[in-house]
Amino acid sequence: MAIGASKEEATSRRIRLGMVGGGQGAFIGAVHRIAARLDDQYELVAGALSSDPARAKASAKDLGIADDRAYTSFEEMAKAEAARPDGIEVVSIVTPNHMHAPAAKAFLKAGIHVICDKPMTLTVDEAKELVDLVQSSGKIFALTHNYTGYPMIRQARAMVAAGELGEIRLVQAEYPQDWLTERAEATGSNKQAEWRTDPARTGAGGCIGDIGTHAYNLACYVSGLELDELLAQLSTFVEGRKVDDDVQILLKWKGGAKGMLWASQVAVGNENGLKLRVYGTKGGLEWTQADPNYLWFTRFGEPKQLLTRNGAGAWAEGTRVSRVPGGHPEGYLEGFANIYTEAARAIHAARDGSPVDPAVNYPTVQDGLVGMQFIQAAVASSAAGNVWTKVG
């Protein structure tokens, strides 16, 4: 694509948004707020940003949230906002993992849509409860498996679905990082490392839940496959660490495809190396998160093609969630924003009682359940001595 019109939708009907978690100093809360803001479909009007009252107030003030809508508990917030005529329509849950489920339930019960960070819950049982609750409530539930928001990932999924790769044989996913190479959680100055390696807050899996689940979600999203069995080797390389920091998994997909998944937090030299490769009888795809505007595609027997976001060879599925012309890179925040904007499209439709555009898609509560089943199976497989384990 040459220089053309940038895409923007009407922003005059912003959705009233609340947030749980994400006070001053948090990482992912700020990301969610930028994501919500990017396409101007939301207005942040309430928050339970911290359980500490002073920090909750101060954080709210910074964000332009009125004093009387700065809560210190999500229960209180759900109740109060549900009672207001101008109450929030949707809440973002950006707390450590252990609070995702309780908060989500509270808002769903209060009739409020939910956008929730991943992994969705601590256990499969909690996840199933949430599936039931979403279903019975009729509310929208979007899970921020943000990497599915990248335009070239949208295109990859569409290409697989359209048969461009033929029958899928191999799905290889990896997600190496290095930030936990040393025992950062013991320094006393790294809040992120602390909660992400604390089983009480992060769940039974460390690396598997934090990033392994992202890689798995992406593999499912693009390939369209469902997993049958896995065999996992979870390791804890750093002495004293309470959760796994490296994950190596063999995959058997339903229908006969095979695959491998590797996630690591101790692979020195990798910042955030999420990568997906899919191979079929007719073609192959390769995508790397750090360079997300490119998608390598090869038809068997033909030269490799470097497809670019909004460039020659771009598909509508990617262009639909892209903002600027090819060659002007979009990144992590834009991909994250796509989850928010897709959810906004669904919320607008719900508000209006109109049907959702069938092109709209975002990770759902069902994807959250699938993710928890994956984590549970991986942890169980590893604990049993790295044995084949059915998923789901």
> Binding to a copy of itself by residue 7, rule CB under 8 A?
yes
Please report, as residue ranges, which positions from 128 to 187 form the binding site for a copy of itself (by CB under 8 A).
Answer: 165, 169-170, 172, 177-182, 184
Q: Which stretch binds a copy of itself (CB under 8 A): 95-103, 108-116, 288-296, 339-347?
A: 288-296
CB 177 within 8 A of CB 272: yes
Least spacing, CB of residue 147 vs a copy of itself, in Å = 10
The smaller minimum CB distance to a copy of itself, of residues 68 and 132, is found at 68
3-state secondary structure of 289: coil
Burial of 186 (0-12, 13-18, 19+ CB in 10 A): middle
3-state secondary structure of 92: strand
What is the β-pairing status of strands 283-288 and 168-176?
A: unpaired
Residue 80's H or E segment, with its range, is helix 74-83
The single-letter code of the amino acid at 19 is M
Please report, as residue ranges, which positions from 294 to 313 form the binding site for a copy of itself (by CB under 8 A).
Answer: 296-308, 311-313
Least spacing, CB of residue 61 vs a copy of itself, in Å = 6
- Residue of the chain from 292, 318, 368, 371 that contacts a copy of itself (CB under 8 A): 292
> Binding to a copy of itself by residue 333, rule CB under 8 A?
yes
R_g over Cα of the chain: 21
Least spacing, CB of residue 43 vs a copy of itself, in Å = 10
Please report, as residue ranges, which positions from 351 to 380 form the binding site for a copy of itself (by CB under 8 A).
Answer: none
3-state secondary structure of 227: strand
- How many other CB atoms are there within 10 angstroms of residue 254's CB atom? 11
Query: Which tokens go with 25?
Result: 């100093």
- Residue of the chain from 84, 331, 359, 390 that contacts a copy of itself (CB under 8 A): 331
Residue 337's H or E segment, with its range, is helix 332-352
Count of residues in contact with a copy of itself, rule CB under 8 A: 110
Please report, as residue ranges, which positions from 189 to 248 form the binding site for a copy of itself (by CB under 8 A).
Answer: 190, 192-193, 196, 231, 233, 235, 237, 246, 248
Q: Which stretch binds a copy of itself (CB under 8 A): 127-135, 136-144, 151-159, 293-301?
A: 293-301
> Binding to a copy of itself by residue 326, rule CB under 8 A?
yes
Site string for a copy of itself, 35-74 (x = CB under 8 A): --xxxx--------------------xxxx----------
Please report, as residue ranges, which positions from 13 to 42 form the binding site for a copy of itself (by CB under 8 A).
Answer: 14, 25-31, 33-34, 37-40
> Binding to a copy of itself by residue 4, rule CB under 8 A?
yes
3-state secondary structure of 357: coil
Question: Residues, the chain, total?
Answer: 392
DSSP symbol at 68: G
What is the β-pairing status of strands 141-143 and 168-176?
A: unpaired
The single-letter code of the amino acid at 356 is V
Residue 232's H or E segment, with its range, is strand 227-235
The smaller minimum CB distance to a copy of itself, of residues 19 and 78, is found at 19
Rounded to whole angstroms, the Cα distance separating 279 from 87 reads 48
- Residue of the chain from 21, 47, 149, 280 that contacts a copy of itself (CB under 8 A): 280
> Binding to a copy of itself by residue 269, rule CB under 8 A?
yes
